[in-house]
Chain A
Amino acid sequence: KTDQLYGHYCSCLFWLNHRLKELLRAKLTECGWRDQLKAHCKDVIKEKGLEHVTVEDLVVEITPKGRVLVPDSVKKELLQRIRAFLAQHAT
């Protein structure tokens, strides 16, 4: 049911997505998350070989680590904004 609702929201939450995405990216770059992950990418590439690395390789390796590496402060702030937005549009 959450997915259903979320599907509904996706179409209307373009603004939210756009703004929050930009915000998140900026914060992640600021806190060094991006550089950390990039360094991890380098390791993966060296491991798999420069010529043969695929998108899937990277995604599989990077995404879980990326989720974990997000600093708590960034996570908290983002969640706060999302909740505020939802609360604002709940009525």
Chain B
Amino acid sequence: MKMEDMSLSGLDNTKLEALAQDIYSDLVEDACLGLCFEVHRAVKQGYFFLDDTDQESMKDFEIVDQPGVDIFGQVYNQWKNKECVCPNCNRSIAASRFAPHLEKCLGMGRNSSRIANRRIASSNNMNNKSESDQEDNDDVNDNDWSYGSEKKAKKRKSDKNPNSPRRSKSVKHKNGELSNSVNADPYKYNYNTGINYETLGPDELRSLLTTQCGVISEHTKKMCTRSQRCPQHTDEQRRAVRVFLLGPSASSLPDADTMVESDCYDASDGQVLMSRLQWDGSSDISPSDSASSKASTNNSDSKKPKKKKKTSLGLNSTGGGGGGSGSGGGSSSQTSLVGLSNRKKKPKLPVPPAPSIYDNLN
């Protein structure tokens, strides 16, 4: 801004002050005019009085300024001590505990399904152990549920609201999961909460470990029920758990069930393969060619070189594998499984079997 042509410096203070006042009043007038134009436009366009309500409503919603009451006039703890009747179980529940009670009662909250599953699992374990030898196998095969679980399932279903979409979704989900598991294994187990490995039989353990991560948590002593690729645990841990629970020579890989029928040695092939893969630091699908070739050269040392690529591919898709090198193969794995009950009672020792693998690899 060029000020040379303006002789402001010549002005004394009074004039400057007058100038300032002029400027100020001009600005204020400008603001007033702005408001007038806005209001006039609102009047002419018809929206000026839109935000008004009638006097009665205004009185209804007036701000309340009394002690003990909020500005809407509501009392703070009014409903705290009231009791409500639960529509489900018809009990009288305190108001502040009503919501959590409903959660449990209807089986709809986050924790309620876990608790229910746990209860079912523990009761099923007790039921199934006594009924596995019965001749009710027809019943077991006919229904998707095993006998003991059916009772609990019926009871659980009646608790739930059949109309709620969330309910049906979870029921379907559970049904599907269970029928899959039942096909592989007649024992039912829960998969929402961790499982206590001490209460499970050897077959259960084996089937569990083929589908689940199974790593035993140090805090809860329970097995992880997430998938084989669960990000919380490494393949090393999974392998160690399998070694611990099933013995060093056992194969507890996901395809173990199917592979046992086809060929015993493939399981061990896969084990060495998996341990090789882990040793290389990749638990994902590494180039199966190099892996299988390594496995084949290794196997030639200890047993018949039966290399089947399709099985190796199948194993590559899973994250974990049992420990143990190719000592004895699959047939021995079954015999070693029988002696599992002794092993289970030992304290966890995931480390000792590991060096043996590495020795073989070297």
Distance of A53 Cα from B19 Cα, bound (Å): 35
Which residues of B does A touch, CB under 8 Å?
1-3, 5-6, 8-9, 11, 15-25, 27-37, 39-40, 43, 48-49
CB B196 to nearest CB in A, in angstroms, measures: 65
Chain B residues closer than 8 Å to A6, beta-carbon distance: 19, 22-23
Does A59 interact with chain B (Cβ within 8 Å)? yes
Chain B residues lying within 8 Å of A5, measured Cβ to Cβ, are: 6, 8, 11, 19
B35 touches A55 (CB 8 A): no
Determine the distance from Cα of A16 to Cα of B22 in the docked complex, in whole angstroms: 14
Q: With the chains together, A78 CA to B9 CA distance in Å?
A: 22
Contact status of A91 and B15, CB under 8 A, knowing A21-B30, A55-B36, A78-B24 = no
Interchain nearest-CB distance for B310 vs A (Å)? 75
Instruction: For chain A, residues 45 to 91, give those with C-beta under 8 angstroms from any C-beta of chain B.
Output: 45, 50, 53-55, 58-59, 62-63, 66-67, 70, 75, 78-79, 82-83, 86-87, 89-91
A89 near B35 with CB under 8 A, answer: no
14 A-B pairs, CB-CB below 8 angstroms? A8-B6, A37-B35, A53-B43, A54-B40, A58-B36, A59-B33, A62-B35, A62-B39, A63-B29, A79-B21, A82-B24, A83-B17, A86-B20, A90-B8
Do residues B27 and A21 form an inter-chain contact, with CB atoms below 8 A? yes
Q: How far is the CB of A8 from chain B (nearest CB, A)?
A: 5
In the complex, what residues of A have CB within 8 A of residue B8's CB? 5, 86, 89-90
Assembly CA distance A41 to B48 (angstroms): 10
Please report the C-alpha to C-alpha distance between residue A20 and residue B43 in the assembled complex, in whole angstroms: 28
- Closest residue of B by beta carbon distance from A9: B6
Write the nearest CB–CB distance from B13 to chain A, whole angstroms: 10
Q: How many A-B residue pairs have CB under 8 A?
A: 105
* Interfacial chain A residues near B6, Cβ < 8 Å: 5, 8-9, 12
Q: For A78, what are the chain B residues with a Cβ–Cβ distance below 8 Å?
A: 24, 27
The A1-56 residues at the B interface (CB cut-off 8 A) are 1-2, 5-6, 8-9, 12-13, 16-17, 20-21, 24-25, 28, 34, 37-38, 41-42, 45, 50, 53-55
Q: How far is the CA of A70 from the CA of B25 in the complex (A)?
A: 11
* The one of B1, B11, B22, B43 that contacts A50, using a Cβ cutoff of 8 Å: B43
- A66–B16 touching, CB < 8 Å: no
Q: Which of B17, B32, B43 is close to A45, meaning CB atoms less than 8 Å apart? A: B43
CA distance A42 to B40 in the complex (A): 11
Q: Name the CB-closest residue of B to A33.
A: B31
Question: Is there an interface contact between A58 and B22, defined as CB atoms closer than 8 Å?
Answer: no
Which one of B16, B20, B33 has the greatest number of beta carbons of chain A within 10 Å?
B20
- Closest Cβ neighbor of A78 among chain B residues: B24
Task: Identify 20 new A-B residue pairs, CB closer than 8 A, beyond the known A82-B23, A90-B16.
Answer: A2-B18, A8-B5, A9-B23, A17-B27, A21-B30, A24-B27, A24-B28, A28-B31, A37-B35, A41-B36, A42-B49, A50-B43, A53-B43, A55-B40, A58-B40, A59-B32, A59-B33, A63-B29, A79-B21, A89-B1
Q: What's the nearest-Cβ distance from chain B to residue A40, in Å?
A: 10
Residues of B within 8 A of A82 (CB): 20, 23-24
A53: B residues at CB distance < 8 A: 40, 43
Contact A66 B1 (CB under 8 A): no
Chain A to chain B: the 3 pairs with minimum beta-carbon distance, closest first? A66-B32, A58-B36, A82-B20
Question: Which single residue of chain A is at the shortest CB-CB distance from B32?
Answer: A66
Contact of A62 among B18, B32, B49 (CB under 8 A): B32
Residues of A within 8 A of B36 (CB): 41, 55, 58-59, 62-63
Minimum C-beta distance from B36 to chain A (A): 4
Which partner residue on chain B sits nearest A67 by CB separation? Answer: B28
Establish whether residues B33 and A63, one from each chain, have CB atoms under 8 Å apart when the complex forms: yes
Which residues from chain B contact A83 at a C-beta distance below 8 Å? Answer: 16-17, 20
Nearest-neighbour CB distance to chain B for A54, whole angstroms, equals 8
A58–B15 Cα distance when bound, in Å, is 33
Nearest-neighbour CB distance to chain A for B33, whole angstroms, equals: 7
Q: Please tell me if the beta carbons of B23 and A66 are within 8 angstroms of each other in the complex.
A: no
A24 to B26, CA, bound (A): 11
